Amino acid sequence: MVLADEVFPPFFSAGCKFELLGERGNGVTTSSAWQEKYTEAMLELNRQELPRRIEAAEKAICQRVEELKNEAAPASAEELWAINDALRGLRVLAKTECPPERSLRAGERQSEVAS
């Protein structure tokens, strides 16, 4: 049996690890497409590839939210919590690992002007 801490970095929350591993207390599994995309983004090591992975994960999450809106049965609290947690994680990842190019270019321009 693989433990969640062996697969996911420590910044994954416990609830998100639980959902990503597809283990649910009531035996019901949810659509895992968004979870797979989220995992791919969080584990991506190539900085050039990371923005694309983050975008794909966000798109898959949005699709899942739309699916949940159209389902007859209400969404589980666990999945909604995991979706919110995943979106927060993606925002933090994007902010820390994918600095905006505009700010980099602005810094380059400032140094050119100062020269």
Question: Residues 20, 12: contact at Cβ < 8 Å?
Answer: yes
Domain boundaries, the chain: 4-98
Q: How many CB atoms lie within 10 A of CB 74?
A: 8
Q: Which residue has the tokens 């050039």?
A: 48
Residue 79 has pLDDT above 50, yes or no: yes
Q: How many angstroms separate the most distant Cα atoms in the chain?
A: 65
Q: Above 90 in pLDDT, residue 23?
A: no
Q: Choose between 60 and 99: higher pLDDT.
A: 60
Q: Which long-range contacts (CB under 8 A, 24 or more apart) does 97-101 make?
A: 97/47, 97/50, 98/47, 98/50, 98/51, 98/54
pLDDT at 90 over 70: yes
Q: How many CB atoms lie within 10 A of CB 27?
A: 6
CA angle 81, 82, 88 (to 5 degrees): 95
Q: What is the pLDDT of residue 83?
A: 95
Please state whether the predicted TM-score (pTM) of the whole model is above 0.85: no
Binned at pLDDT 50, 70 and 90, residue 71 comes out as: confident
pLDDT of residue 30: 52
